[in-house]
Amino acid sequence: MSQKPLSAKLVAITAMLTALNVVLSSFGVPVPGGHMYLNDIVICTAAILLPPFPAFVVGGIGAFLGDFFFYPTPMFVSLVTHGLQAVIISLCVHRFFAKKQPMGAIIGVVLGAVIMVVGYSLGRAFLYSTPEYAIMKLPFQILQAAVGAVLSVVLCYGMKLKQTLQRTGLLA
């Protein structure tokens, strides 16, 4: 089974979305116990638009780099959690529900939200050695995941971002 090489357009879109993820994971909305970040919007949008490997790059590596530059403690939690989140969403859209992509996107972002909330809750409990800290952040993790999930589906299908990128030849 051979894979086709990545096109220059796909590499450019992946790089742009990765950079946007780094920027949005560098600052957040202050909440009790820390910050709520808006990078889930980019991660979920990229995962809906891109195949699994580029989605992993945007989600996992982008969040890792954002943490690495600005707050390195959770960078490996971000790599694994957001990387897995992006891959699962992308697989739902492009493989499991390829003929019904909007439904695959909805199922994917719900699964991705669960992965993100559970991954970060477990990661925080481990990194900071206190389940109380993870529980305190839980409502904001759920809000962050929900905002990312809803806005990405609205962007891609409600505002026709995916259709526009396909029509202009930027996406296959």
Provide block-wise average pLDDT over 10 residues at a time, the chain (172 residues). Answer: 72 95 87 81 96 96 92 89 97 93 94 94 78 79 92 94 86 77
CA 26 – CA 23 distance, rounded (Å): 5
For residue 84, the model assigns a pLDDT of 97
Do residues 47 and 74 lie in contact, with contact meaning Cβ atoms separated by under 8 Å?
Answer: no
pLDDT on residue 25: 86
* Per-residue pLDDT at 4: 67
Query: Can you give the pLDDT at residue 169?
Result: 80
Position 7 scores a pLDDT of 86
d(CA 131, CA 110): 24
| Contacts (Cβ under 8 Å, ≥6 apart) of 85 | 43, 44, 47, 59, 112, 113, 115, 116, 119
Q: What is the pLDDT of residue 3?
A: 61
